[in-house]
Structure 1
Amino acid sequence: MRDPGDGEEVAMIRWGWLRDAASRLRRGWRPVLEATVAATVAWILATRLVGHPQPFFAPAAALIVLGQARGQRLRRAVEVVLGVAGGVLVADLVIQGLGPGTTWTVFTVILLTVALAAAVGATGVTLVQAAVSALYLVVVAPPTEGLVPFRFVDALVGGAVALAVSQLVDARRPLAPLVAEVRGTFDEMAGLLTDIAGALDRHDEPGALAALRKARGMDARVDRLRDEVLAAGEALWLNLRRRRHLGRLRSVDSSIRQIDYAVRNVRVLARAGVTLSRLSSPVPGDLCVALRSLAEAVGAAGEALAADLEGRDEVAERHAERADAAALAAVRTAGGLFTPGQTLPLMMIIGQVRATAIDLLRGVGAEDDAVVLSRVDQALGLPPV
């Protein structure tokens, strides 16, 4: 006999799946809307403006370009157009010699198209698009007089529409997504340092392990930050009125390497924090003070970079000064613990406080690297080199 509870369990599973699907759709509505609008507009332009009765490549090119990550779409649009042109050219020549629809024609077209694409250094989208375009012409719609330029124009229309649609949302504020990602990355790193300090305050090994798990996930944050820099650069390049802001983008781009180094330092610091939390000896209170000062420096550095991107130079300078002062305060406080007889994990944390402070100051300051290093070591109490 069937258990009545089975039906309730199935209903709960279905409801949970529907709820998750609705949540994913709420988060991912933009790509759905972009793809639908771009493919439809590309089809309309190709049929009514260009006059092509079967513009397969126009919506297809739009979908292929939008399928790429933001920041890579301009390059992909060019690759799609070149791939279509190369594939159509090869297919047209082979069909003229061997006729359409034969096995030898299909074999020859694929071989020559892929070989030609590989010979010119094409990879990925360009190679596949060339082969698919050529195969489509052989199997589905053999070219006739006048169709070769139509298909090339179709791909051009589709790629251009995809680029235009992808920029509509960010047209007024192309740097806004990058600014949000900068703030999110630095806020998460500052929160991580605060979590480590709290775990050490409480001698909380599970809390220290949780912080370490968060630290290991920070690499994904840095990757997203790099992706947003590429996307912002593409958006600014396509927006003629805002290309003057590319200089701001370059300043942040040059800081990403230091941010990456800082993330790695914090991960090592978190690992040492786990070891320190396992020891029976008490954790010095000044160490947690130093970590919280470093967290304040990280937060201020993020605000400095965000304000720089937004063109608020005076605000950026104030935050950079605050980051400088907090980072040196963290090093100074940690340096007071730099005495003989301390445990190895504690010494490691002091070293990572120093290294993180250096990377932060290099990321937001205009000083020479040697000057930054000298100031940090002076705060740590090390003799000048």
Structure 2
Amino acid sequence: MLRWSWLRTAAGRLRDGWRPVVETTLAATVAWVLATRIVGHPQPFFAPAAALIVLGQARGQRVRRAVEVVLGVAAGVLVADLVVQALGPRTTWTVFTVILLTIALAVAIGASTVSVVQAAVSALYLVVVSPVTESLVPFRFVDALIGGGVAVVASQLIDVRRPLAPLVAAFWRTFDDLAAVLEQVAAALDRHDAPAAVAALEQARQLDVEPLRDAVLAAGEAVRLHVRRRRHIGRLRSVDASIGQLDYAVRNVRVLARAGVTFSRLPTPVPPELGAALRDLSRAVEAAGRALAADLEGAEEAGDRHAEDADRAALAAVRTAGRLFTPGQSLPLAMIIGQIRATAIDLLRGVRADDDAAVLARVDEALGLPAV
């Protein structure tokens, strides 16, 4: 039974991750073919190695990593050539001196960890594995250039037509997860189910906007290499502010879920309006996600329509919660109402063009608070 479970898990991982497997295999093979057939190098180790290293990095960092790999190889080869000429190949002192000088040089110039390791590996390979050569042609440097270039091109082929598509998908996932947590909290409170409320809190703690930030970096890299990059750069510039507001909303929902756990453990009955407010807020989150995704895809009319939906749902949630804001309510209920208000504000700031003061005024008016 355990074996079949492992096989199903492995098959699922391959189904979800087959693209990187194929991408990496093809890129390393193409780099090898180019180095052997075009350059004519009989041992192009650094061509497929550079491709593997670059593609092993997170999307959004591959251009920089490609440059670092090439520079690391160049530095390692230079140091190794000089030391081999002075001390000879494959001796203990040569290995010691090459590694020491290469790492010290890379650290002194402030190189990243990838550059340090690549420089040391390149130098060590030249000293220990590669045969001594008097050729002045920088084969290894060219090989690294080929491998890094092939990797960068391969990493962008999937997104060549729609460079922002992965970012749009990341927005959908993040907002859908946030909306699902609000639905879970609402269901747990409706049933006065403390274990379900704890489960919702655990889901809230898993919410994270960092994958979305990584997706922005990847989209920026894809856009820089895209022919029509100006059109896409304009859409990306407004994303950072929206992610910041989403981060605030995620933190608010965590606090809301924690208060939901406390409220579900009290003997105090949960007013049904509270679940309705949370579900309205969940719908506002979904609509906000659709609005931002539509803006990224250039569908401005659809984006405006979804933003209006988010506005109506968020204000409806605040309005319903405001009716529960009466003297003598329990502290957990007051905390949930406060977090509904804060989440609505952050959502609307992320999708509306209004200034912060205007958003705050409209939300507080819906809550029934006096204007300041």
Bin the TM-score by the shorter chain. over 0.9
Q: In the aligned structure 2, how far is the partner of 1:147 from the partner of 1:135?
A: 19
| Contact 1:89/1:148 (<8 A) preserved | no
- Partner amino acid, structure 2, of 1:361: L
Q: Which residue of 1 aligns with 2:126?
A: 137
- In the other structure, the counterpart of 2:42 is 53
TM (norm. structure 1) is 0.93
Which residue of structure 2 aligns with residue 154 of structure 1?
143
Greater mean deviation of Cα atoms: 151-160 or 364-373:
364-373
List aligned pairs for 1:2-151, cutoff 5 A. 12-146=1-135, 149-151=138-140
1:208 is aligned, of 186, 189, 197, to: 197
Give the gaps of 5 or more residues in structure 2.
none
2:224 is the alignment partner of 1:237: yes
Return the alpha-carbon distance in structure 2 between the equivalents of residues 380 and 156 of structure 1: 60
Using the TM superposition, give the Cα deviation of residue 243 of structure 1 relative to its aligned residue in structure 2, in angstroms: 4.4
Cα separation, 1, equivalents of 2:136 and 2:336: 68
Structure 1 residue 143: Cα displacement: 4.9
- Secondary structure of 2:138's match? helix
Confirm whether residue 194 of structure 1 aligns to residue 206 of structure 2.
no
Match in the other structure for 2:240: 253
Q: Look up the match of 1:6.
A: none
By how many angstroms is 1:383 displaced?
Answer: 2.1
Letter aligned with residue 253 of structure 2: V
**1:242-272: CA deviations, max 9, x gaps?**
4420211221222111111101100110110
In structure 2, the partner of 1:224 is: 211
Structure 1: gaps spanning 5 or more residues: 1-11
State the alpha-carbon separation in 2 of the partners of residues 16 and 267 from structure 1.
33
Relative distance call for 1:147 and 1:280 in structure 2 (3 A) is: farther
- Listed one character per residue, the Cα deviations across residues 4-50 of structure 1 (whole Å, up to 9, x for unaligned) are xxxxxxxx333333333222222211111111101110011011111
Deviation at 1:315, TM superposition (A): 0.6
CA contact (8 A) 1:88 1:148 kept: no
Residue 301 of structure 2 corresponds to which residue in structure 1?
A: 314
Q: Is the 8 A contact 1:43 1:59 kept in 2?
A: yes
Match of 2:353 among 347, 366, 372: 366
What is the deviation of 1:217?
Answer: 0.8
Paired residues in the alignment total 372
> Relative to structure 2, which stretch is displaced further, 111-120 or 365-374?
365-374
The alpha carbon displacement at 1:147 in A equals 5.4
Q: Secondary structure at the match of 2:228?
A: helix
CA distance in 2, matches of 1:359, 1:337: 21
What CA distance in whole angstroms lies between the structure 1 residues aligned with 2:316 and 2:132?
72
The reply to whether residue 168 of structure 1 matches residue 157 of structure 2 is: yes
Residues 1:276 and 2:263 aligned together:
yes
- Kindly indicate whether residue 311 of structure 2 is the aligned counterpart of residue 298 of structure 1: no
Task: Label 1:345 to 1:132 Cα distance change in 2 as closer, same or farther (>3 A).
Answer: same
Structure 1 residues 326 and 19, CA, compared in 2 at 3 Å: closer, same or farther? closer
Q: Is 1:269–1:349's contact at 8 Å kept on the other side of the alignment?
A: yes
- Equivalent residue for 1:180, pick from 144, 169, 175: 169
Provide the aligned C-alpha RMSD in A. Answer: 1.4
- For residues 303-382 of structure 1, the aligned pairs below 5 Å read 303-382=290-369
The percentage of aligned residue pairs carrying the same residue is 76
Matched residue SS, 2:327: coil
Give the distance between the partners of 1:109 and 1:50, measured in 2 at CA.
27
* 1:337 to 1:16, Cα distance in 2 relative to 1, 3 A: closer
